[in-house]
Structure 1
Amino acid sequence: MASSYSTPGVYINEVNAFPNSVVPVATAVPAFIGYTPRADYQGQSFYNKAQKISSFAEFQALFMLDNPPPPADPARQYSPQYYLVPQPSEPAPADALTLNGQCYAVLPDPNTLYYLYNSVQLFYQNGGGDAYIVAVGTYGPASHKPLAAPAAAVVNPNVQLTDLQRGLALLRNEPEPTLYICPEATLLSVADNGTLMQGMLLQAQQMGTAVCVFDVIGGANPDPVLYTQDIQTFRDNTGSNGLSYGVAYYPFIGTTIMQQADIDFTNLFGGDVSRLAALLNPPSAPNPAAAKLLEMIQNPPANPMSNSQLQAALLSASAVYSQIVTQVLACANLLPPSGAMAGVYTVNDNNNGVWQAPANVGIVGAIDLPICLTDDQQANLNIDAVSGESINAIRFFNGQGILVWGARTLDGNSQDWRYISVRRTVIFLEQSIKQAVRSYVFQPNDANTWAAVKSMITSFLTQVWQEGGLQGASPADAFQVDVGLGSTMTADDLLNGYLNVSVKVAVVHPTEFLVISFQQQQAKSG
């Protein structure tokens, strides 16, 4: 207000009646790091950039080809290649089938396996919304040979640690993502995967804005007995920093993402139809109809049929071919669960709040698991006395289907940060309040500012308490906000420009172990 007026008249002075408010930050915004067939739009490249998207259609427009070539070109679009490799004896591996009395293992060309595209599909299929895509490169060339053995580790040499680390570093300038997801990290070697996980945890801890969702190497085809070695290897390679910012899920999940239209004869034997002909039209069981179709593929007529037409005709003409495609689809649809979990987090946060544990819920599109864990087996995943690194199980229950059956961070022995919902709730509160109090930077460090800051934070936390995010019979039991000279600041703090605020919250913890005690008693007469 002016100290004096020179001209007679009426003057208006507006006074703020309400303090600033805290705007809640988004809690489920994943950042996917990995490889895509392309990353450009209208001449602008999106490689090595953190690009925000809001739908799967937008992802396709920026990172997938408008008019993809035939699937035989794996360097241009996602087209995994599989080989049927004869096995000397039974028992066959899980991803195998018997044709004409011979057992075959269905083995991929590791150089053609990528997970980002299907993981983003899983994210949106499970209710995902806004997300960031960090495309670090395009697909590399195929090796034109299958995996060395059914039990061999799947390592794609086209997936490079340096590429993924570069993509991770780009997120240092992006405070909005709340989940770091790198599904193709499981295609690295064990050592490189460990280096990447440790880097992700360290960055998440330093920024304090996100948690890392990890997949476990070996979760795609676990040995029924020796799977515990994969679990121990994972724990040995996560390091000891930032464990409360990490979450792991096991095993992989069998999905319905890829359909029969996504797999055809060009995905088998690197497109070598002659090797397929030996299976569909063997001398011991000739199939003239299949032989004619295969001849049309190898030597197209003047008016050739399209690949989709040939595919449909082959499926109808040969039961063996149908069996092969079914098995290959099952292998191609076995995906790391991190992308699906990002969608589960989004729906959970929107419907229940970030303080609700994202567990005891189903995964849309999950139809099978490579291993069905029991209670005793999960006990070793959920609680580890040595490292304390908890791994959340995805399990099958009769009558209920496939459920997420775990709610712990990697810091499983910590009373403060044991649960995912606690860590994510505190991140939500910290970042929301941090953004709100920025408006008070350079304001007078006096009682008026202290009262305004305290009122603003108190109002926000009261709202969170009313929604069920904090525990306590009253707001006074749920949180405490202190600010001011003599309580959170000294005279030296004022001289140095510090405004210290102390916030204590009672975060809701999930009910993990529900114990019911039963005791017999005698019947009472009367």
Structure 2
Amino acid sequence: MLNLKAPGVSVEEITRLPYSVTLADTAIPAFIGYTDFATVGYNKPYKISSFLQYEEYFGKAKQESIQLKDVEGKGVTIVAPPVQFLMYYSLQMYFANGGGPCYIVSVENYTSAEVQYTDLKTGLDKIENSNEPTLLVFPDAISLKNQEEFYTLYNEAIAQAERVKNRFVILDTYYGDSTTTSGDLNTIEYFRDKVTSSSYAAAYFPHLKTILNYTFDENETPITHIGLQNEGQTSADFYSGEIAALEELKRLASEEISSGSANAFVLADLLGQGVAIAEEINDSADNTHGEIPDTKAVLTEAIEEAKIVLDAIYDGTIDDFMVPDDLDENAPVFSGEFDALKAAILNVKDKKGAADGITLKNLESSNSELYNQIKTEIRSLHIVLPPSSAMAGVYGRVDSVRGVWKAPANVSLNYVIAPTEKVSEEEQSDLNIHDTGKSINAIKNFTGKGILVWGARTLDGKDKNEEEDNEWKYVHVRRYYDMVEQSIKEALKQFIDQPNISYTWLRAKTMLENFLNQQWLDGALAGSIPKEAYHVEVHGNKDEPKTMDVTVKIALVRPAEFIVLNFSHQLQ
């Protein structure tokens, strides 16, 4: 404090921080998709910093209905539901893999019948003017019914990233395996055919089987319990073995009759076997199926008629059998009993399971054994997700631990059991470097290491020619350059309206050199000495007196993508 009591000159030292560059955020993703609700409103980007905050403002996953299927010899198994809305699960993967603050753009709630391109495109448009998001992720995009819309959406996102130049798009493939075809093209070929080449985007393959479980409605929605017969499976297919057996019994009966001296008891035995087959089917048949209102009653009637014939044989009422080809339409046809049983079987269907129409909550008290089996099945069923959300978390983890200049590769993924497809060395060669330049980064399982991200190339991953390298083929090079550019642009705003003189130029140059020198010391820039790592020029513009020209050159670090080992040995 100044002492102003005595005459003289007093000096007060004022601490003033020098001009400095603040690092721009690099891993702030915007997740665009559907949520349970949105207390902040739909199509309004909202920043959260934890999964608990997500649940508070956007709710939980959609509760799926339980569908069971009987499996012969194994009891029941649960059928994986066709989940459309993946935002909730994707946020779990994001935070589990190191993600931090992010933006949520809820485009609609779960009452939507299906994922719509127009909804996701609207959410993308709403995020364009937000300055902070640096990554774009679409968790629900793979649920679009139209594959063309899926790739159109990603191309729109890439176009936005190239316009604003401060964000990066993480892409998925529409299918999680390479074998699914669209026309004459498989998943990878179709992806490359439809997606725009760009250094502002990267794609990852395949999809991931996670440790996350589906969220089921255990209290309100009744269970759908399918019997042994699959949904949509015809009775001719399901009972094919039994029908073939009936045909064989009919053939044997016809041969016996054709011999001219048919043994009644042999025929009775053959028909008895046919009745036994039909009765076994009837015991497990559903009561109504197909166009006939009571198909089980028709089968029961056919069985009873066959039994009448059997009784007639045993009591001697029927003792004369004719060759089927010689019979007229009014004569009794013994082999026709087999045809009647077959026709009735073709119209029945295996009945539904014991839990059909009951909620899981009510099943707990009525059938605890089945309830416990279903709960075990639910815990064993794991959801499959596209990798983009997990990769957004990896970007954040690598950026915070090492820096944005470190390639987000050769790092493990959390909450992942296995990729949906095993990528071979030959397949990865094609994924990594392709004539189109549209590289796709593989996710692979390594023994003793876990699930690793094994690639860090953008969708502009091809060199211009053999002599000229493409500097934008690596994910971290593009993202680091964008970070430096945004950081320097923001820092230079401090000099707007400052005197355009050498003193101002010197301060700006010193500020930038200090920033870049620290980046070099951190390992972000190549070069053994500072002048090999960066160069800064700041000066006035002779033609435009109000303009201060700034030139920054940096030597970016490249990854050791290929390591060549040379071995030699000397014989004694």
Give the TM-score category using the shorter length.
Answer: 0.7 to 0.9
Residues in 2 aligned to 1:445 and 1:257: alpha-carbon distance in whole angstroms? 59
Gaps of at least 5 residues in structure 1 are 1-7, 66-76, 86-96, 143-157, 286-290
Shift of 1:228: 6.9
Shift of 1:140: 3.1
2:10 & 2:74 partners in 1: Cα distance? 98
1:468 aligns with 2:523: yes
**Are residues 1:56 and 2:51 paired?**
yes
Q: Contact conserved, 2:67 with 2:224, CA < 8 A, in 1? A: no
The equivalent position to 1:237 in structure 2, one of 189, 194, 211, is 194
What is the aligned counterpart of 1:271 among 201, 222, 245?
A: 222
Q: Is the 8 A contact 2:227 2:353 kept in 1?
A: no
Q: 1:462 to 1:274 in 2, by over 3 A?
A: closer
What's the CA shift for 1:322? 6.0
Matched-pair contact (CA < 8 Å) for 1:465–1:471:
yes
Q: Distance in 2 between matches of 1:395 and 1:167?
A: 32
> What is the aligned counterpart of 1:197 among 137, 149, 154?
154
In the alignment, which residue of structure 2 is the partner of 1:344? Answer: 394
Supply the distance in 2 between the matched residues of 1:16 and 1:101 (Cα, whole angstroms).
77
1:114 is the counterpart of 2:85: yes
Equivalent positions of 1:12-27 (< 5 A) are 19-27=18-26
Matching residue within 493, 500, 514 for 2:544: 493
Q: Which residue of 1 aligns with 2:211?
A: 256
Structure 1's 326 and 401: CA in aligned 2 closer, same or farther, altered over 3 A? same
d(CA) in 1 for partners of 2:44, 2:366: 38
Cα distance in structure 2, aligned partners of 1:195 and 1:292: 43
Letter of the 1:25 counterpart: A
Q: By how many angstroms is 1:26 displaced?
A: 2.0
Structure 2 distance, partners of 1:309, 1:478, is 68
Measured at CA, do residues 163 and 308 of structure 1 come closer, stay the same or move farther in structure 2, by a change above 3 Å? Answer: farther
Aligned counterpart, 2:407: 357
Which residue number corresponds to residue 374 of structure 1? 424
Cα offsets for 1:265-305 (capped at 9, x unmatched): 679xx7344547999xx9679xxxxx99849x73x9xxxx9
Q: Distance in 1 between matches of 2:461 and 2:104?
A: 30
Q: 1:159 to 1:225 in 2, by over 3 A?
A: closer
Distance in 1, matches of 2:180 and 2:522, equals: 43
The residue that corresponds to 1:131 in the other structure is 102
Q: TM-score normalized by structure 1? A: 0.76
- Structure 2 residue aligned with 1:68: none
Paired residue type of 1:438: K
Q: Structure 1 184/349 Cα, relative in aligned 2: closer, same or farther at 3 Å?
A: same
Asked whether the equivalents of residues 216 and 248 of structure 1 are also in contact (C-alpha less than 8 Å), the reply is yes
Matched letter for residue 342 of structure 1: A
Equivalence for 1:325 = 378
Among residues 29, 41, 47, which one is paired with 2:42 in the alignment? 47
Report the CA distance between 1:18 and its aligned residue: 5.3
Counterparts of residues 102-501 of structure 1 (less than 5 Å): 106=79, 108-109=81-82, 112-140=83-111, 158-188=114-144, 189-219=146-176, 221-223=177-179, 229-240=186-197, 243-258=198-213, 262-263=215-216, 271-273=222-224, 275=226, 294=355, 298=358, 306=361, 313-314=368-369, 318=373, 321=374, 325=378, 329-330=381-382, 333-385=383-435, 387-414=436-463, 415-485=470-540, 490-494=541-545, 497-501=546-550
How far apart are the structure 2 equivalents of 1:82 and 1:316? 12
Measured after TM superposition, the shift of residue 362 of structure 1 is 0.9
**Larger displacement relative to structure 2 (443-452 or 373-382):** 443-452
Indicate if the aligned counterparts of 1:264 and 1:311 stay in contact, CA closer than 8 A: no
For residues 91-114 of structure 1, the C-alpha deviation after alignment (integer angstroms, 9 at most, x for no partner) is: xxxxxx9545999994644xx511
Rounded Cα–Cα distance in structure 2 between residues aligned with 1:34 and 1:247: 20
Deviation at 1:51, TM superposition (A): 0.2
Tell me the alpha carbon deviations over residues 422-460 of structure 1, each in whole angstroms, 9 at most, x when there is no partner: 111111111111111111112122111111111111000
The answer to whether the 8 A contact 1:277-1:294 is kept is no
> Does the C-alpha gap of structure 1 residues 278 and 198 become closer, same or farther in structure 2, counting only changes over 3 Å?
closer
Q: Which residue of 2 aligns with 1:88?
A: none
User: Given the superposition, is the C-alpha separation of residues 191 and 478 from structure 1 closer, same or farther in structure 2, using an over 3 Å criterion?
Assistant: same
TM-score (structure 2 length as normaliser)? 0.70
Choose 1 or 2 for highest CA Rg: 2
Q: Tell me the distance in 2 between the aligned counterparts of 1:160 and 1:271.
A: 28
Aligned-partner Cα distance in 1 for 2:227–2:19: 69
Kindly indicate whether the alpha-carbon contact (under 8 Å) linking 1:390 and 1:408 is maintained by their aligned counterparts in 2: yes
**Contact 2:77–2:377, Cα closer than 8 Å, also in 1:** no
Contact 1:264 1:325 in 2 (8 A): no
Q: Which runs of 5+ in 2 are unaligned?
A: 1-6, 231-280, 286-351, 464-469
Q: Which amino acid aligns with 1:159?
A: V
Deviations 1:145-179 (A, max 9, x none): xxxxxxxxxxxxx2111211111112222121111
How far has the Cα of 1:196 moved from its partner? 1.0
CA separation in 2, counterparts of 1:308 and 1:343?
Answer: 40
Conserved in 2, the CA contact under 8 Å of 1:293 and 1:314?
no
8 Å Cα contact 2:66-2:78 kept in structure 1: no
Q: CA deviation at 1:263?
A: 3.4
Q: Closer, same or farther in 2 for the Cα pair 1:178/1:274, shift >3 Å?
A: closer
Contact 1:128 1:343 in 2 (8 A): yes
Match in the other structure for 2:327 = none
**Partner Cα separation in structure 2 for residue 472 and residue 422 of structure 1:** 16
Change (3 A) 1:389 1:361: same
Matches of 1:325 and 1:343, distance apart in 2: 27
Q: Which string of whole-angstrom CA distances, capped at 9 and with x for unpartnered residues, describes residues 125-150 of structure 1?
A: 112110000111111356xxxxxxxx
Decide whether the 8 Å contact of 2:136 with 2:170 is kept in 1: yes
C-alpha contact (below 8 Å) 1:20/1:456 kept by paired residues: yes
